[in-house]
Every structure is written in structure tokens, then in C-alpha cells.
Amino acid sequence: MIHRSQNYTNSSVHIRTENTNDEAPVFFPTRHYTAYVAEDAQGGTPVVQIQARDPDRDQVEYAFVDKDGMESYETSLFHIDKDTGLIKLRPGVQAADLLRNDSPYNLTVIARDDGSCCSKESPRHTALATVLIGIEDVNNNRPEFRDCASYGELAKIQEGVYKKNPPVIIKASFTTLELSRW
């Protein structure tokens, strides 16, 4: 015969877990951004905001990476805010500067966590995103009226005579520099 005891006890156990900085930032909604900036935009104009989150809840910092792997907060035309990821035209950029190079501008952005999640010193993790910035054409030319001299004679009508069709159709056109979006 087995004798079972009715004695038991309760105990509380506290488990403390520590976070480890073991994950890289993740870009959202995508790692491939596309944006456009008007050809007549001036320095300081916002272009696009890059966003990344760190699964370890670290703060994320942003920078550009050039083809040689060097990091900076500015290119010849663009500036990235290291804390927000907002890309703007650099101060002093003029429309002519945007048209000087071929569009689109192909930028690489790095997101780096700061390791602040954890009590121990840990390596910082990174992720890369691409940003294509195209130049949008702006209609900045005056319209031209063809055969303007003839409109005065064609448009003369007597009061009460006009019934259905317009007495004259005035045509205007404008020319603009054709920009390829890509």
C-alpha cells in the first residue's frame, strides 16, 4: 500500500531576464525607398524619411554610406538627420545643382543600434537600405499663344448672336525640359 502525504508548500520564484543586444535594426515598411524631389526645390526641402526599429529596443542612428564604405551625414546634395532618418536637400542646394547630375540619385543608408538596451558592453548591429531619389519635372515655362494676332478678329461677335459653338478656340502651348524619372 502506498501512503500519500497531504503536505505541500507554495513558493514564489522571481526570474529576471536580461536583454542581449543580439539583433540588427529592421527597416520598415521596406529596405528599398523611392522618392522624388521637384527640379526647382531649394536647400532644406524634405525628401523622404527612412525608418528602422531595433528588436532589442535600442536607439537607432542613421547615416549615408558611400561606395567606399565611408559613413557620413551628407552627400553633395543631401543631408540625413542621424536621429530621425529624415533626408533633406542640403542648405544652399539650387535647382541647377539637382539637374547637374543624372537622375536618379542612388543612396545607401545605414541604420545602427546604439546598444543602450543592455547593461553589458555589446557589439553594435547594422542594416542597410537603398534610396532612389528621382527629379520631378516642374512646369516652369510661360505658355505661348500661337496666332495671337488673329484672335482679336475671330473673337468679335455681336451681342445676342452667340448660340452654340464657341466663336474661337485659343490654343496655348509650353515647352519644358524633358526629364526622365529614371
pLDDT band per the 50, 70, 90 thresholds, residue 11: confident
pLDDT digits (tens, 9 = 90+) for 15-43: 887 777 788 999 999 999 999 999 899 99
CA-CA-CA-CA dihedral for 44, 45, 47, 53, to nearest 10? 50
pLDDT score of 2 more than 70 = no
Strands 126-136 and 144-145: unpaired
* Mean pLDDT across 161-176: 68
pLDDT digits (tens, 9 = 90+) for 72-124: 999 999 999 999 999 999 999 987 888 887 778 999 999 999 877 776 777 88
According to the 3-state scheme, what is the secondary structure of the chain? CCCCCCCCCCCCCCCCCCCCCCCCCEECCCCEEEEEEECCCCCCCEEEECCEECCCCCCEEEEEECCCCCEECECCCEEECCCCCEEEECCCCCHHHHHHCCCCEEEEEEEEECCCCCCCCCCCCEEEEEEEEEEECCCCCCCEECCHHHHHHHCCCCCCCCCCCCCCCCCEECCCCCCCCC
pLDDT of residue 181: 46
pLDDT of residue 176: 60
- Domain range summary for the chain, segments of one domain joined by +: 26-136, 144-173
Top-level CATH class of 26-136?
A: mainly beta
Instruction: Of 105, 139, 126, give the one whose Cα is nearest residue 34.
Output: 105
Residue, of 157 and 132, whose pLDDT is higher: 132
C-alpha cell at 117: 538596451
| pLDDT cut 90: percent of the chain above it | 45
Mean pLDDT over the full length of the chain = 84
